[in-house]
Structure 1
Amino acid sequence: MGRKPQDEVALRDVEIGARPDESLLVLLEHCRDMKRQETRLRLATLFLLFSCSAVFIFCIHQSPAFRGQAVAAELGTAYSKQDNFMKDCPQTNLTRPSIHLTSVESDDDKSNGAHIKWNATLGEKYYNSTERAIVIPQPGIYYVYLRIALCWNGDYTENPEYTEDKRISIKLHIWKDSYQKDVPIMEALDGIATTGYVNRNVYLGQVFELKTGDLLRVWIGDGYELIDIRKTSFGALLL
């Protein structure tokens, strides 16, 4: 059966009415796609910005200048804490005495069996010239050292009196109130050949626990004539 004119008109109306709805759906779907793409683009941009910022901050922290500033700041803080601790600690408020003596040539000192006379070049107030001794000003652990310069000048092989070697005996004495006498705490025995020019040093050094008022002095048993007064020294310092 053929369609009636009225049916054809209605069908055309339906078809014409459906086209705007489909176009609207397509347009809405396109808008949604655009929004999704825009959102993805924004997220990608933010991620890129965060990544660049993280790389920049990492590079700054790894740079030598920044590390130097950080270390300096940490050291400054540490030193500040240490200074505060040192100020609060009563033991660190004590001075740390250092005594350095050089030998003095004197007519009455050129004999064996005597204590050497000194001149104080550092810590003069800790040297007793009468006793020829270092006076320990406060208790503590001290490093005590002695340098004896030996010198013999000339060739005496033709003279039998000088064919034998010369010996030197050195002792570091300590005097304490508890036993009221000199006690050797360091000692050196040495000698040089008298057949020519000799120039040598004898070193002594040791750590001692000393008390206030202890006296330290150097005693020469033999070989005083071998000592080079210009280069001989003696000292002590609180550790």
Structure 2
Amino acid sequence: LRQVPALLLLRACTFTTSILKLDHLLTIRQHHKEILCFTCPADSMPGDNITDEQYIKWQVLFGDGYNKERRAIVIPQTGVYFVYVKTDIHCHNVNGAANFYVELQSWNEGYPAVQTLSSALDGLVCPNGAPRTVVVGELLDLLEGDHVSVWVVEGFKLMSKSSFGAFFL
């Protein structure tokens, strides 16, 4: 697995022309498409989406390749992808300090060990803490068959809604 430098992430997300030139480091044809988009709003979260240290179970909004058993996007072809997870967190009947820690993880049948691709940590002081939005996004060089999923390490009770997707660049 090779991570594309974070510098490219900010520039590659503009998508304003059919050819993107990134300081002569990389030229990408703009044939990106979101292959999958998932959502997990609080009012419709499946009953097993209630504790920390688990993969989020998603509802498919559009796209193919969601592995329900593994709760993962299955990458259809080798290449560079922008993978993201966006989560809104609120206090939700919590008092005191509350942490939220989430990871983007990947595994492949050819290399089944789970790898952390990216992560984010935030928190609230409840009950008066202002709501926050936590976003994890990376440009990643992924292989066909990689399974990318969202692991909530801590703070599942803080989540109000979340979305998860992958763009092929």
TM-score (norm 1): 0.53
Which amino acid in the other structure matches residue 79 of structure 2?
Answer: G
What residue is the counterpart of 1:100 in the other structure?
37
**Closer, same or farther in 2 for the Cα pair 1:95/1:223, shift >3 Å?**
closer
The structure with higher relative contact order (CA 8 Å, sep 6+) is: 2
- Residue 175 (1) aligns with residue 107 (2): yes
Contact between 1:150 and 1:198, CA under 8 Å: does it hold in 2?
Answer: no
List runs of 5+ in structure 1 lacking aligned partners: 1-91, 157-161
List runs of 5+ in structure 2 lacking aligned partners: 1-28
TM-score (norm 2): 0.74
Runs of 4+ residues deviating >6 angstroms: none
Which of 60, 68, 91 does residue 152 from structure 1 map onto?
91
Query: What aligned pairs does 1:190-209 form with structure 2 within 5 A after superposition?
Result: 190-196=122-128, 198-209=130-141
Which amino acid in the other structure matches residue 37 of structure 2?
Answer: H
What residue is the counterpart of 1:214 in the other structure?
146
TM superposition shift of 1:199 = 1.6
- The RMSD of aligned alpha carbons is 2.1
Q: 1:96, 1:172 → 2: CA distance? A: 20
Count of residues in Structure 1 that have an aligned counterpart in Structure 2? 137
Larger strand percent: 2
Q: Percent identity?
A: 30
Q: Report the secondary structure of 1:180's partner residue.
A: strand
Q: 2:137, 2:168 → 1: CA distance? A: 14
Q: 2:111, 2:75 → 1: CA distance? A: 16
Query: What aligned pairs does 1:42-191 form with structure 2 within 5 A after superposition?
Result: 96=33, 98-103=35-40, 105-123=45-63, 125-153=64-92, 162=95, 164-191=96-123
